[in-house]
Copies of this chain bind each other. A is one copy, B any other.
């Protein structure tokens, strides 16, 4: 008595998903076959579609169905500012603020030497070429304030400055509506250190 091979293959295939081990892959396979046949069919099609149609924007590196994405093609954006983010989701969050009118570059990751993720994996050469187009005046590093995001910003700042580019980093501090009493002391300390003259 063995698991039917198509079921075994599905369980194995599900393990490609991040954070999905053997137990959880089995549970997912049973769930899909038992309760979500239509959803599973949709997922199969969505995967095939995405693989076929999506690729990286030739300018900003985000996912797009075109050669160059909508935003990079928008003639009304400011070519002199280039905002560097880790992931496409960060680009969307930034856009939601309605404050930034420049262009973007999406690293599609962050430096993480312990995981073997180096400059090549965050497309450093492409960022360099993009930032050196003669129009970009300022590169705004908007990676996360995690250990890895900070290390990435540090590395990029050094390398970009060495090439004569002006580099800035988004600010750290209390959130809007934040109360000193409820903020972690690391953030509060940084908010103090990075205080602005009024």
A residues neighboring B (CB under 8 Å)? 1-7, 9-10, 12-14, 16-19, 24, 26-34, 36-37, 39-51, 53-54, 63-65, 69-71, 87-89, 91-92, 95, 108-109
Contact = CB atoms under 8 A, between A and B. Distances in A.
A108 B27 CA distance: 11
B32 A47 contact: yes
A52 to B, nearest CB: 8
B95 A46 contact: no
A60 to B, nearest CB: 10
B29 A13 contact: no
Number of copies: 2
Nearest to A57: B4
Given A4-B64, A7-B50, A34-B108, 15 more contacts: A1-B71, A1-B95, A3-B88, A4-B54, A6-B49, A6-B50, A10-B47, A16-B32, A16-B39, A17-B31, A17-B32, A18-B31, A33-B51, A43-B47, A44-B47
Nearest to A30: B87
Nearest to A72: B1
